[in-house]
Structures are given as structure tokens and as C-alpha cells.
Chains A and B, each alone.
Chain A
Amino acid sequence: MRYLLVEDNIELSDAVIKRLALDGHAVDHAMTLAEAEDCLAAANYDLILLDVMLPDGDGRDFLARSRAHLQTPVIVLTARAQVSDRVGALDQGADDYITKPFDFSELEARCRAVLRRRGGAARNDIALGPAVFDPLAGTLQYGEQIVELRNREIRLLEVFARHPGQILSKSHVMDRMFSYDTAVTENAIEVYVGRLRRRIDGMGFRIETVRGLGYRIETDAP
């Protein structure tokens, strides 16, 4: 997936870019509306993340202006909290909004929801041995068999699928799935992994436990 991030806060932008890159997305960064225009003229994006307060104007005005010829879905990032702002952003053609500071897991969830709702041509399939995983739709296809995964399972599988052959520690997996939820323990990860293993049983790939280190995704030899 190719994202355009229009945001003038460098730290926030960096973090968002890195986080989205973990899921294998390419992110172009524009600091101003003018830069955003240039990016939009040069490339096609699957999703735009748009801040409302930019040095050269209001993101919502930009949205209202370009909505007519812009097919790309837009998620508005706002630190404003006015009740009417949120409704206003949607009225002006945003697909969704998220209030700063946001949880990255929530941002990812909202991106997925918008992309799924728009149902664009873009697909983001990941091959797992003989199986094909579509993280957007949350489906796993193996021959004729299609398994629909639940959200947590999708997230978990996506984390593993993006790092084939690598050992991922429980705490790494935890950070990707829950950013601060202290109530979640490493045992919970074991529960999720156990549940996912039952779902993918017999689909040509496995999640193996590497004692003392974590987990690794393994595909059957072809």
C-alpha cells in the first residue's frame, strides 16, 4: 500500500511512517499542502492521512477543494476536539478522522477499515507458502478453502507474515498489538498464538515456538 502523510510535526510523522513501514506500507511525507499537491500530481496513493492545521492552510479546506477530483480515501488527523469539527470533517469528504494523540493500533485499525470500506483495487496479499493471506479483508485462502480471521488474529498473523523466518519475541508481538494495555501479559500472547494455530492448521504454514526466544513463522517446503 502507498500512503501519503500530510503532517508538519516531524516527530509524529517519523513515528507514523516507521510504524506503517512495519506493515510493509510505503509512506510519502508532505509537510505542507503545497507539497501534498505535488505528491498527488506525481503518484497514486491508496490512502491519505491529512492533518488539519498545516503551515500553509487548513487541511479541511484542502479536502473540500480537492474532493471533487480526488478519489483516494482520506483520514483526517486532528488535535482539535470540537464536537462539530469531527462531524464537519466527515461532511467535507473525509472517510474517517482520528484525534491526536492517537494510538497507533487505532490508526492502523482505522486505515484498514477505510481501505476495506472503499474496497479499492489495491490488494496487499501476502503469500504464506501455498496459502494467500489478505490482511485487509482478513481472509486466508488455501486452495478452495477460505478462512475468515478475526481482528486480533489478523493483526497477529500480519505481524508474523511481514517477518518471514525471523524470530519475534513475545514482547515485540505485544507492542505491535497492544501499545500500552498493561493488563495484557505475555500469557495473553500465548493464548492468541494458540488460537491462531488452530485456525491455520493444515494450511501449509505454521507458527513455531522457539524456546526462550519467541515465535517464528515457517512455511512447508514446497
Chain B
Amino acid sequence: MTETRSISQRLTLLLAGVAALLSLLSWGMVTGLAREATQRTQDNVLAASTTTIAETLRSEQGEVRLELPYAAFAMLDAISEDRVFYRVTAGGRILTGYEDLPQTSEGGLGQVTFDSGEYNGAPIRMASVSRLVLAGAEPLSVTVTVAQTRDGVGAVASELSQLAAILSVAFFFVAVGLSAFAVKTSLRPLNEIAAAVSRRGPSDLRPLMRAAPADLAPLLTALNRLMDRLHLSIRRSEDFIAEAAHRIRTPLATVRTQAEISLRTVDDETEKQRLRRMIRAVDESSRSAGQLLDHATVAYRTEDMAHDVLDLADVVRQTVAAVEPTAAMRDIHLEVTSIEAKVLGDAVLLDNALSNVLDNAIKYSPEDTTVSIYITRTDAEARISVTDDGPGLGDEPIDALTERFRRGSNTGGIVGSGLGLTIASDVLRAHRGRLELANTQNGRGACVSLVLPLS
């Protein structure tokens, strides 16, 4: 599985990006507004100042006269400590003030116009108003211009902008924090589903039934459909094995039956021998087929086996009861010495392993002997030991006996497939236990132990 960046990381990054953009935007807007607000304040004061001066215009003996009221400049001082300039022109002639102030735009009479410009290398803001003054015969247009440098108001604006920047950064961090929280909260159902799936037992393929947000419903449906298919395919392979067994064994049963009937009806001893050999061959193949299928079943069952708390005493009791009649046929006594020993495991698999071991012990024991089964327990382990009075395990390396299709060198004429111990050993390995093979101390017979960790 290639791992891409996690959804939570992605979402957090995306939300942080949006927050950054919004912070930047809001900072830009606040800065713009601050500049405009300070500008407007300056304009208003300039306009007031200009109007105040313009109102003092009067004509005296044909001359245009004016006063420069203190208030007109004082109000400008009130907003900032910027320098103030003024100019009064009448009909193009400068009456008083700074001659070199930049030209201003023409507005209607009595209307205040504003201009930005530069004076002595400093940016300035100018307000002008024109009034008609009757000086002599004809009215004369007098323009009053008041200008102020913009350093002070600029400083106020940038101060406000700085404040906005700090606020925006703080807003950004809060937004990132909140998005991380929001992402975590909205992804919680997803994590809960993941946890619910991983908490399940390996063979639990029931559909996942839980309340989930509508967005996750498709995922949940897909997951359930997958589990359905998995369940079906496991069932199919189980059915396939059962069907294969049925197909193989039913005709074998017919052949065996016919041979048995013939065995009863023929009198010739050579014929009888032939029929016996035939029956034996049928038994061999049916046993091999059975064990191959058992082996396959055990192989996939161990992959997702049950982990139930089992008492080995129960397992032994049931399995021994099942093989008792075959043992009795040969007058072999099964002697069980049992104590309680709780292990975690799969009853079906353990029954299969023990059956295989007991089958071997019964098959190889001479008639009229005893097979002993005991359960013993140490601190960490439980052990089922099966000892018989058979020929023992021979002189082959003992480990080789659990290999597939490997049979001991001293199995004589006894029917077997060589899979029994392999199956038993696979089952025990799946239970984190082991199969121990040894010859008994007196040198007669085998001792096979199934060792399992106690639960």
C-alpha cells in the first residue's frame, strides 16, 4: 500500500491555507480602511480650515482682504503635527501664502476640492475652495488652498495597519488550531470504523453494523460487500473440499462394498487374498484422500482459527470416545489420566491433531496392549502425552517424521498416508505449541506429546 499524505494532514493544510488567505485579505482591508479613514479625517479638517479662511474673505476699498484665523490652523494641529501650508489667489494673482504650492484642480464656486501632491519632496494633501469677492467693479474669484504634509496621518495609518497585521496573524493561528480540531472531530467516525474492524476476530466476517455519517456510508457498504465476498469464497473452498471428499469416497465405498460381498461368496483362497488386497488398497486411497483433505482444511483453518478457552481434559475425553471402538476392535485399552488444563485454541483443530496421534498409536500397537494418554501441566505449558507399546519410531531422525508423506522405516504392512503427524504438527504450531516425538524409555513403543501454552 502506498501511503499518501493523510486526510487529516491534507485537510489541516488546506484549512490553514484558507485561513492564511483570509488573514491576508482582512489585513489588506483593514489597512486600506485605516488609510482611507485617516485620509477622510484629514480631508474634513482641511476642508473646515479652508472654509474658515474663505469665510474671512471680504472686499475693502476694492481690495480683497482676508484673515488667517488661528483656529483654522489649530484644528489641523489637532490631528497631527504635520506642517501646514496655505495660499490665497485672486484671479490668478497670489495674495498671500506659499507661491510654489502645486496647482490645484478647479471646482465649482463654494465647493471644496481635494488634491494630493508633493511639496518640497514631501507628500501633501490640499483642499481648495473658491469664492467670488466683489472687489471694485466686478466680482473676483478668490481661491483659498490649505495643504498639509501627510507624515502624521500616514503614521497613524501604518500604526493601525500594524495592529491589523498582529490581529491577522493571531487570527491565523487560532484558525489553524480550530481547523486541526475540526479535522480530528470529523475524522473520528472513520477511525472508529477502522478500530471496529481491527478489533474483530479473524473469522468474524459479519457485516459491520454501526451508525456512521452519510459520507461514510459508501465506504461501509463497500467494506461489507467485500466481507460478504470473502465469507462466500471461504465457504466455497470449504464446500469444495467436502464435495471433493464426497466424490472420491462414494465410489470407493462402492468398490469396497463389492469386494466385501465377493469376499464372502468366493471360496478360493487365492481369490480371497486378491480381494483382501483390493480392500486394503481402497482403504489406503480413502485414507490418503481423507488426510489430504484434512491437511488442506487444517491449512486454511489455521489461518483464521478460533481462540476459545478449552479444557484439554474435554478435548481428550471427546477424541478418545471417538476412537474407542476402533481400539476395542483390537482389544487395545485406552487409559486416560486427566487433569484440568485450560488452553486457548480451536477445538476442531485440536481434536483433529489428537485423533491423528491416537490413530497412529492404535494402528501400530500390538493387540491386547494399552495406549496411555496423560495430561500434565507445568507453569506455562500443558502436555498431552500418548504412549504405546508399538514398534516405536524407528531409527530415522525423529524430526523427519513430521514431514509430509514421510513414513517411518518400520511401518510394516500398516495402512497410512504419512500425513497424520504433519497435520498434528501444523495444528500445534498454529497454537504456538509443538509436537514432541520420542521413543519410550524402556525402548518399546513411541511417546508422542502435544505441547500447548496454558491460557
- Whether A87 and B348, one on each chain, are in contact in the complex, defined by CB atoms closer than 8 angstroms, is yes
- Whether B325 and A113, one on each chain, are in contact in the complex, defined by CB atoms closer than 8 angstroms, is yes
B272, B280, B348: which has the most chain A beta carbons within 10 Å? B348
B279 is an interface residue with CB less than 8 A from chain A: yes
Which of B255, B258, B283, B328 is in CB contact (< 8 Å) with A103? B283
Cβ–Cβ < 8 Å partners of A152 in chain B = 330-331, 367
A106 is an interface residue with CB less than 8 A from chain B: yes
A15 to chain B, nearest CB (A): 4
- Whether B286 and A83, one on each chain, are in contact in the complex, defined by CB atoms closer than 8 angstroms, is no
Cβ–Cβ < 8 Å partners of A151 in chain B = 328-331
Q: Which residue of chain A is the closest to B249 with respect to CB atoms?
A: A79
Which of B246, B273, B349 is in CB contact (< 8 Å) with A80? B246
A166 is an interface residue with CB less than 8 A from chain B: no
Cβ–Cβ < 8 Å partners of A84 in chain B = 238, 297, 301, 348
Interface residues of B in 234-283 (CB under 8 A from A): 238, 241-242, 245-246, 249-250, 252-258, 260-261, 263-264, 269, 272-273, 276-277, 279-280, 282-283
Which of B238, B277, B289, B322 is in CB contact (< 8 Å) with A182? B277
Interface string of A101-123 (1 = CB under 8 A from B): 11111100110110000000000
A14, A81, A86, A106: which has the most chain B beta carbons within 10 Å? A81
B135 to chain A, nearest CB (A): 122
- A110 and B258 CA atoms in complex are apart in Å by 21
A96 is an interface residue with CB less than 8 A from chain B: yes
Cβ–Cβ < 8 Å partners of A87 in chain B = 347-348, 351
Interface string of B280-307 (1 = CB under 8 A from A): 1011001001100110011001000000
B324 is an interface residue with CB less than 8 A from chain A: yes
B96 is an interface residue with CB less than 8 A from chain A: no
- Whether A100 and B348, one on each chain, are in contact in the complex, defined by CB atoms closer than 8 angstroms, is no
Which of A83, A150, A179 is in CB contact (< 8 Å) with B348? A83
Cβ–Cβ < 8 Å partners of A104 in chain B = 260
- Whether A9 and B253, one on each chain, are in contact in the complex, defined by CB atoms closer than 8 angstroms, is yes
A195 to chain B, nearest CB (A): 10
Cβ–Cβ < 8 Å partners of B276 in chain A = 179-182
Which of B246, B263, B367 is in CB contact (< 8 Å) with A179? B263
- Whether B245 and A11, one on each chain, are in contact in the complex, defined by CB atoms closer than 8 angstroms, is no
- A99 and B250 CA atoms in complex are apart in Å by 10
Which of B249, B283, B328 is in CB contact (< 8 Å) with A113? B328
A65 is an interface residue with CB less than 8 A from chain B: no
A12, A53, A83, A96: which has the most chain B beta carbons within 10 Å? A83
Q: Which residue of chain B is the closest to A97 with respect to CB atoms?
A: B322
A79 to chain B, nearest CB (A): 4
Cβ–Cβ < 8 Å partners of B283 in chain A = 101, 103, 180
- Whether A83 and B294, one on each chain, are in contact in the complex, defined by CB atoms closer than 8 angstroms, is yes
Interface residues of A in 108-165 (CB under 8 A from B): 109-110, 112-113, 150-152
- Whether B324 and A113, one on each chain, are in contact in the complex, defined by CB atoms closer than 8 angstroms, is yes
- A150 and B279 CA atoms in complex are apart in Å by 26
Interface residues of B in 305-353 (CB under 8 A from A): 318, 322, 324-326, 328-331, 347-349, 351-352
Categorize the interface residue count of chain A: 35 or more
Interface residues of A in 19-40 (CB under 8 A from B): 19
- Whether A150 and B253, one on each chain, are in contact in the complex, defined by CB atoms closer than 8 angstroms, is no
A61 is an interface residue with CB less than 8 A from chain B: no
Q: Which residue of chain B is the closest to A174 with respect to CB atoms?
A: B272
Interface SS majority for chain A = helix
Cβ–Cβ < 8 Å partners of A71 in chain B = none
- A106 and B256 CA atoms in complex are apart in Å by 14
- A80 and B249 CA atoms in complex are apart in Å by 8
A190 is an interface residue with CB less than 8 A from chain B: no
Cβ–Cβ < 8 Å partners of A181 in chain B = 276
Interface string of A60-101 (1 = CB under 8 A from B): 000000000000000000011111111100100000100111
Given contacts A83-B301, A100-B250, A179-B263, contact A109 B325 (CB under 8 A): yes
- Whether B250 and A180, one on each chain, are in contact in the complex, defined by CB atoms closer than 8 angstroms, is no
- Whether B286 and A180, one on each chain, are in contact in the complex, defined by CB atoms closer than 8 angstroms, is no
A41 is an interface residue with CB less than 8 A from chain B: no
- Whether A175 and B263, one on each chain, are in contact in the complex, defined by CB atoms closer than 8 angstroms, is yes
- Whether A106 and B326, one on each chain, are in contact in the complex, defined by CB atoms closer than 8 angstroms, is yes
- Whether B254 and A11, one on each chain, are in contact in the complex, defined by CB atoms closer than 8 angstroms, is yes
- A181 and B283 CA atoms in complex are apart in Å by 11
A96 to chain B, nearest CB (A): 7
- A85 and B348 CA atoms in complex are apart in Å by 9
- Whether A101 and B294, one on each chain, are in contact in the complex, defined by CB atoms closer than 8 angstroms, is no
B249, B273, B290: which has the most chain A beta carbons within 10 Å? B249
- Whether B280 and A182, one on each chain, are in contact in the complex, defined by CB atoms closer than 8 angstroms, is yes
Cβ–Cβ < 8 Å partners of A102 in chain B = 253
Cβ–Cβ < 8 Å partners of B257 in chain A = 11-12, 14-15, 101
B121 is an interface residue with CB less than 8 A from chain A: no
Cβ–Cβ < 8 Å partners of B242 in chain A = 80-82, 85
A53, A82, A152, A181: which has the most chain B beta carbons within 10 Å? A82
Interface string of A164-200 (1 = CB under 8 A from B): 0000000100010001111100000000000000000
Cβ–Cβ < 8 Å partners of A14 in chain B = 257, 261
- Whether A53 and B260, one on each chain, are in contact in the complex, defined by CB atoms closer than 8 angstroms, is no
Which of B250, B260, B322, B326 is in CB contact (< 8 Å) with A9? B250
- Whether B252 and A101, one on each chain, are in contact in the complex, defined by CB atoms closer than 8 angstroms, is yes
B218 is an interface residue with CB less than 8 A from chain A: no
B368 is an interface residue with CB less than 8 A from chain A: yes
- A66 and B432 CA atoms in complex are apart in Å by 41
Which of B241, B252, B328 is in CB contact (< 8 Å) with A109? B328
7 contacts between A and B (CB under 8 A): A9-B253, A19-B260, A80-B246, A100-B249, A101-B257, A151-B329, A182-B276
In the complex, the 3 A-B pairs of residues with the closest C-beta atoms, listed nearest first: A101-B253, A81-B245, A180-B279
Binding site for A on B (CB under 8 A): 238, 241-242, 245-246, 249-250, 252-258, 260-261, 263-264, 269, 272-273, 276-277, 279-280, 282-283, 286, 289-290, 293-294, 297-298, 301, 318, 322, 324-326, 328-331, 347-349, 351-352, 367-368, 412-413
Binding site for B on A (CB under 8 A): 9, 11-12, 14-15, 18-19, 53, 79-87, 90, 96, 99-106, 109-110, 112-113, 150-152, 171, 175, 179-183
